[in-house]
Amino acid sequence: MQTGLDFNLVEDLVAGVDEVGRGPLCGAVVTAAVILDPNRPILGLNDSKKLTEAKREKLYEEICEKALSFCIARAEVEEIDQLNILHATMLAMQRAVEGLHITPKLALIDGNRCPKLNVPSAPVVKGDSQVPAIAAASILAKVTRDREMAAFERIYPGYGIGGHKGYPTPVHLEALARLGPTPIHRRSFAPVRAAFEARDLQGDSLFKG
């Protein structure tokens, strides 16, 4: 946190924007934009990765209740594969800001670059640890995506998706090699592409036999 910065200070009509899911091998990248209400403070906001799951869930409900406006958006696996993960993330952030029912005076984006927006914007490196609205956005995005991964665990058992959330852990990579990719895996990511190629080769070998 920067010296002299009051993390609890909520600036009027400033939207915080963050994403979750750039690194995983499967699932959508999820973004959120949040405009907090200075008159309805939310205690305990922080980078979602620094909070327990129970705390994130509690704050998720409080943010949805107290925020002046919020929007959760996404870019699907097909868009990630078509555009690449960076451009898909920028598209999802753009959708989140455009989905706000209140037009912000400024959008503060977690990271070092901004999507193309119709409102003034500025990047904030490690913004989820510095700007309350970005922290709130990080919580909405992470809880949303984690819930989706838990649902996919039931649809695609055996990959451990509910635990690793799609990230390339040894458990995930082993399952990917053993079971092959699912429809929610990102074909443009190297380990998934290799699994698709291995499956195709195995299929050709079985066909020729």
- State yes or no: 53 annotated in a binding site: no
Contact 112, 24 (CB under 8 A): no
Calpha distance 59→73 (Å, rounded)? 18
128 is in an annotated binding site: no
Distances (CA, A) of 176 to 16, 67, 150, 199: 35, 40, 17, 10
Instruction: Establish whether 6 is an annotated binding residue.
Output: no
Cα Rg of the chain, angstroms = 19
Annotated binding residues for a divalent metal cation, written as ranges, equal 18-19, 110
Annotated binding residues, written as ranges, equal 18-19, 110
